[in-house]
Structure 1
Amino acid sequence: MALPHPAALRSAAPPPARPLSSRDRLIMEIAGLGPDPRLHLGTLLTFPGRAPGPDRLAEHLRERLPALPELTLRPDARRRRWEPAPAFDVRDHVHALTVPGDLLADPATALDAVLDQPLDHTRPLWGLWIVGSATADGFALAYRAHHAFQDGRAVTETVDLLLGPPSGRTPGRAPGRPAGTAAPAPRAPRGSALAAALREDLLPRQRHRPTDWPPARQPAAGARRAVLGTYDLGRLHALTRRTGAGTSHLTLAVLTGALRAWHPDTWRDAPAPLPATFALSVRAPDDPYRLLGNRGAVAVLPLPCQQPSPAARLESLRAEASAARLADLARRHSALFDRLPHWCARKGLKRTIDARRVPLALADVRLRADPTWQGTPARHVHLIPPSVPGQPLFAAWTTHRRQLRLTFLADTALPGLDALPGHFDRALTELDAATAP
């Protein structure tokens, strides 16, 4: 049965207040340690043509808003809950910027422009930015949300509903799981899962002596910038047919090769891999607040940069990021964040994202729909990742129109960032040659 158009749902009542989860509270705490925009994430879309005005975009959002009631909830830190925002007006969440340059040729200009735009904590923690060009045709739309308000999967589902086909979503009804990296919905944790969470997340074993990675030693300037890469997805699909590996495993293996080539001297004699956090969504498919709050887990993947063989790197990552391992991690993190006291969850998360142990963050998040504006498909789609405190680099990717789109986000003081997209392209060619019949 077809879902009704969002305009038909305009009379839907706002959702009732909901307590802040342990994850939500933890991310709020982390955000309070530095500039708040560093814990914002989102999606950037570029389009040809003339940019819409804020009022026109707000009118479009009002038509879609009844299918997204979670966007009307704001945080109440004192009561530790999400509550309906009084006198909510979607126009308060639409902003406009103008930048120089051709955004269709260089979408990173638009991404850099919105990176540090603030969100008002007295309102729901999201916004949609119109980025126009002062000198060329084309514009960008950037949806951004606080990481406590939404995780990466919720962000992309929101973009699907705001700018995807106008079929709508009935409030409280969960759509199918989008493509991308999502761990299986965990079963209710029992005693063994609680014990595993205590053992693995609160008292983790030091599997390897940390490698002295040069970017981790670079003093930070305090500002950030993004470098983007676009690659033909057909090259990865050919590797999938040849090796049986999924797109996510292949991307991890190619990225590992790129990081090895970025600082080759580091890996000449290094015996240990490079640990990286890998974001996962463990949101239950029947969650009635599907687009609200953070429902993430964090896997620590040892990227085998010390391994000279591209094929061996791929096999190592297929094992480390196997479905069984991610499902086990989902059960542990559900126990850690949903069943154990808040102080346990805080300690577990701090150990997991400690930049001295894990200096790099990764995410793979996919849209389900092809976003459009007024019938015109998006020219580019790029993720806007957050910045994990102390970590020098975040790499995030998605797929769009037979392209793999990579975002490398780093501090402006990090040298050599512009070389990473080229290293990724060459590492993809190297893996292709290494696995050829």
Structure 2
Amino acid sequence: MKPHANLWTKTFLGMEELAADPSDLYFGLILRGQGPAPGLEDLRRHVEKRLPLIPALTHVPETRGGRVTWRPDDTFDIADHVRTGQRPEPDIAPQPALIGSASPRPLWGLWLLAGPGDGQWEVCWLGHHAFGDAKAVAEILRVLFGDEEPAATAEPPGGPRHRPLRATVAVGRVLPGLLATYRPSEQWPPMMDPPGAVRGWAHTQVPFTTLRGVANASEATVNQVHLAAMTAALRGLEIENGRRPRGRLQICLPLDLRVPAQDDHVVANHLGLMRVPLPWDLPSPADQLAAVVRATRTRTIERWKRAWREILTNTPEPIGQWAHQRIGHPRNTKLTVSAVNISGSLSVSDSPITEIVPLPWLPPGHACFTLLATYQGITTQSVLTHGGTFAPGRLAALWARALDDLAASFQSGRSPTS
């Protein structure tokens, strides 16, 4: 099965010309295990055996006449994609070291690393964003390392059909939100840093039950609780830096366009973007959550999803490029806040994966990207920053503290509407 290229494939490949470092376009997950480490050759044989279930892994993009397509990789060698590597310092993102040392540079790769603790080891997945989104990565890892019998991956709907009337209606319903991006907003200025600048990286972990408990008590979704905690964390960071949070803070929220039970196994960039105003001018965690809930109602998100499905399949490419720029450009959003859930359990060479740590990417000109991953009851928040922005560990710590404050707020009996 030949992978399907869409607007995002071309967009992410094009970002290579703007990125300060090629590794900025790579993101992934660290799978951490305990006990005897898998052998490199065993890992290669295992992955190679599963390749027929994931056709995308053996294809590469090519551009002809301005059109991007995928073709079989005639020179595919599993040794170019499954390697050993050196773990960098804990507070430095591993992408520059791992991707930079790989020759030839693969579109995706697995690196076998020593873990941070005694008896620990890691398998690190990194993939170029042109290859797929976070849900695609979770699906690939399910097929490669899932404890259940793997099912083959699937492809999203085909290329553009150009049904202008249907697309016009769907896009028209979100047009006010797109046009609103022309108004000035609170932001970090775009930061075009020199090549070789260090990418600061930090992560923190909390029990998933903390988010679920607040969600149940407030009748919010887990993702809304996540956004509310990020609101409080960014507010705290702003105050610590001697600035007063004003108005609403616009962030970029990726949307998974997969239809449940229909597109569950899709491996591709099947996503849209939505700009969300975080209420960081409100001091109360409960009030922040209430405002986030209003801004991210289900019907609002579904309206944006429908629009993006039409943009990807029924509109000329320039319309999609314009919509992406209006939402994703660093002039219009402060940072991107993303999340992924890894369902089931994973193991490598019969050794269970006990922990998963996400590795965000950094769009050109952006100062910060956060990626949340939940696996086996543990939620891990990762923060990646431009070298001159701020200490990512501080934002991660403030996010975890904000969750505790939210939990305490609802344990005391306060509702988000009180």
**Smaller-chain TM-score range?**
0.7 to 0.9
Is contact 1:112–1:226 with CA below 8 Å preserved after alignment?
yes
Is contact 1:74–1:84 with CA below 8 Å preserved after alignment?
yes
Three-state SS of the structure 2 residue aligned to 1:204 is helix
Is contact 1:75–1:121 with CA below 8 Å preserved after alignment?
no
Structure 2: gaps spanning 5 or more residues: 157-161, 414-418
Q: 1:218 to 1:311 in 2, by over 3 A?
A: same
Three-state SS of the structure 1 residue aligned to 2:94 is helix
1:404-419 aligned within 5 A: 404-419=379-394
1:189-338 aligned within 5 A: 191=165, 193-197=167-171, 200=175, 204-206=179-181, 209-211=184-186, 213=187, 216=189, 220=193, 222-264=197-239, 269-284=244-259, 286=262, 290-291=266-267, 293-338=268-313
Structure 2 CA distance for aligned equivalents of residues 300 and 124 of structure 1: 32
Structure 1 CA distance for aligned equivalents of residues 242 and 111 of structure 2: 41
Structure 1 CA distance for aligned equivalents of residues 71 and 295 of structure 2: 40
Which residue pairs with 2:85 in the alignment? 97
Which residue pairs with 2:131 in the alignment? 149
1:5-404 aligned within 5 A: 15-16=1-2, 18=3, 20-34=5-19, 35-78=21-64, 80-99=68-87, 108=90, 112-115=93-96, 117-118=98-99, 125-132=107-114, 136-170=118-152, 172=154, 191=165, 193-197=167-171, 200=175, 204-206=179-181, 209-211=184-186, 213=187, 216=189, 220=193, 222-264=197-239, 269-284=244-259, 286=262, 290-291=266-267, 293-404=268-379
Structure 1 CA distance for aligned equivalents of residues 177 and 226 of structure 2: 30
Structure 2 CA distance for aligned equivalents of residues 129 and 98 of structure 1: 9
Q: 1:236 to 1:373 in 2, by over 3 A?
A: same
Three-state SS of the structure 2 residue aligned to 1:144 is strand
Alignment RMSD (CA, Å)? 3.1
Is contact 2:228–2:292 with CA below 8 Å preserved after alignment?
yes
Aligned length: 399
User: Deviation of residue 409 (structure 1)?
Assistant: 0.6
Structure 2 CA distance for aligned equivalents of residues 377 and 427 of structure 1: 31
Structure 2 CA distance for aligned equivalents of residues 326 and 354 of structure 1: 20
Q: Could you give the per-residue CA deviations for residues 207-230 of structure 1, whole angstroms, max 9, x where no partner exists?
A: 86412x5x5487846321210010
Three-state SS of the structure 1 residue aligned to 2:282 is coil
Q: 2:80 corresponds to which letter in structure 1? A: D
Structure 2 CA distance for aligned equivalents of residues 276 and 269 of structure 1: 18
Structure 2 CA distance for aligned equivalents of residues 167 and 422 of structure 1: 38
More displaced, 409-418 or 353-362? Answer: 409-418
Three-state SS of the structure 2 residue aligned to 1:263 is helix
Which residue pairs with 2:406 in the alignment? 431
Structure 1 CA distance for aligned equivalents of residues 16 and 168 of structure 2: 27
Is contact 1:19–1:80 with CA below 8 Å preserved after alignment?
no
**Percent identity between the two aligned chains:** 22
Is contact 1:73–1:124 with CA below 8 Å preserved after alignment?
no
User: Deviation of residue 243 (structure 1)?
Assistant: 1.2
More displaced, 197-206 or 74-83? Answer: 197-206
More displaced, 259-268 or 59-68? Answer: 259-268
Three-state SS of the structure 1 residue aligned to 2:403 is helix
User: Deviation of residue 24 (structure 1)?
Assistant: 0.9
User: Deviation of residue 430 (structure 1)?
Assistant: 1.9
Which residue pairs with 1:9 in the alignment? none
Is contact 1:49–1:137 with CA below 8 Å preserved after alignment?
yes
Three-state SS of the structure 2 residue aligned to 1:165 is coil
Is contact 2:38–2:349 with CA below 8 Å preserved after alignment?
no
TM-score, scaled to structure 1: 0.82
